[in-house]
Amino acid sequence: MEVALLNERVMFQRNEAVVDGVGNHVNAWTDYYACSATIGGEGLASSGERQEAGMTVEDVSMTVTVRYCRKAVDIMSTGYRILFRGEVYDIVDVDHMNFKKKAVKFICRKVRR
């Protein structure tokens, strides 16, 4: 993996139960891991537009590739998301790149807010 391509900063967040001031357990997104990444695949075959409630909605997909590390390997497609340039992306799939322990690729879809 070419280190010069790791030119964007991403934040992985984990969905976990936290206790609020009153003692209630609520689900919240907490920061899990921040690292440099290669962003690619904008405009994947799954990207495009779709009709939703009479509106044309953009459906954006991309890939995020990070260097292999213990925290990156533990990230799954459920319970985690990625923050990139102020936008939220759901993780659709995780590719361990043939388990060579060099990089981990995440296929993501932009969350519509």
Distance (Å, rounded) from C-alpha 98 to C-alpha 94?
11
Distance (Å, rounded) from C-alpha 27 to C-alpha 11?
18
- Locate 11 and state its tokens: 């934040």
C-alpha distances out from residue 61 to 23, 24, 42, 91, 112, Å: 38, 36, 6, 10, 12
pTM (two decimals): 0.81
Contact assessment for residue 95 and residue 102, using Cβ atoms and an 8 Å cutoff: no
Domain boundaries, the chain: 3-110
Residue 46: pLDDT band with limits 50, 70, 90: low
Contact assessment for residue 38 and residue 24, using Cβ atoms and an 8 Å cutoff: no
Q: Does the pLDDT of residue 44 top 70, yes or no?
A: no
pLDDT in tens, 57-81: 667 788 999 999 999 999 999 999 9
Distance (Å, rounded) from C-alpha 82 to C-alpha 69?
17
Q: Does the pLDDT of residue 45 top 70, yes or no?
A: no
pLDDT in tens, 3-34: 788 889 999 999 999 998 898 999 999 999 99
Q: Does the pLDDT of residue 49 top 70, yes or no?
A: no
3-class DSSP assignment, residue 74 = helix
Distance (Å, rounded) from C-alpha 7 to C-alpha 39?
8
Instruction: Return the CATH class of domain 3-110.
Output: mainly beta
